[in-house]
Structure 1
Amino acid sequence: MFKNRVLVTGIGTGIIIGAILLQVMNVRPSAPKTSGIALEEMDPQKLKEETSKYYQVFEKNVKMYTQAELDAAIQKKVKEEADKQATAKPQDQAKATPATASSKIVMYVQPNLDATTVADLLFRAGVIADRKAFVTELDKQGGNTKIQVGYHEFDGVMSMPAVVTNLITAQ
Structure 2
Amino acid sequence: MLKNRSMMLGIGIGIIMGALLLQMMSVRTSAPGQTNLALDELDPQKLKDESAKYYQVFDKNIKVYTQAELDTLVQTKVKEESDKLAAAKPKDQPKATSPEGSQKIILYVQPNLDATAVADLLMKSGIIADRKAFTTELEKQGGNTKIQVGFHSFEGVLDVQKIVANLLAAQ
Asked if 1:139 is matched to 2:144, the reply is no
Note the 1:28-107 alignment, pairs <5 A.
Answer: 28-30=28-30, 38-39=38-39, 41-42=41-42, 45-52=45-52, 54=53, 57=56, 59=58, 61=64, 101-107=101-107
Q: Distance in 2 between matches of 1:118 and 1:15?
A: 84
Post-superposition offset of 1:9: 0.5
* Paired AA for residue 131 in structure 1: R
**Where does structure 2 lack aligned partners over 5 or more consecutive residues?**
68-94
Q: Distance in 2 between matches of 1:39 and 1:147?
A: 74
Asked if 1:13 is matched to 2:44, the reply is no
The count of residues paired between Structure 1 and Structure 2 equals 140
Identity of aligned residues (%): 59
Q: Distance in 2 between matches of 1:18 and 1:5?
A: 20
Q: Which has the larger radius of gyration?
A: 2
| TM-score of the two chains, using structure 2 as the length reference | 0.59
Q: Deviations over 1:66-109 (max 9, x none)?
A: xxxxxxxxxxxxxxxxxxxxxxxxxxxxx9x9656423212232
Post-superposition offset of 1:124: 2.2
In structure 2, the residue matched to 1:72 is none
* Paired AA for residue 119 in structure 1: A
* Paired AA for residue 17 in structure 1: M
Question: Relative to structure 1, is the Cα distance of residues 13 and 36 closer, same or farther in structure 2, using a 3 angstrom cutoff?
Answer: closer
| TM-score of the two chains, using structure 1 as the length reference | 0.59
In structure 1, the residue matched to 2:84 is none
Question: Could you say what secondary structure the match of 2:170 adopts?
Answer: coil
Q: Distance in 2 between matches of 1:58 and 1:2?
A: 65
Q: Distance in 1 between matches of 2:138 and 2:105?
A: 20
On the 8 A contact 1:102/1:155 being kept in 2, the answer is: yes
Question: Relative to structure 1, is the Cα distance of residues 156 and 51 closer, same or farther in structure 2, using a 3 angstrom cutoff?
Answer: farther
* Paired AA for residue 103 in structure 2: S
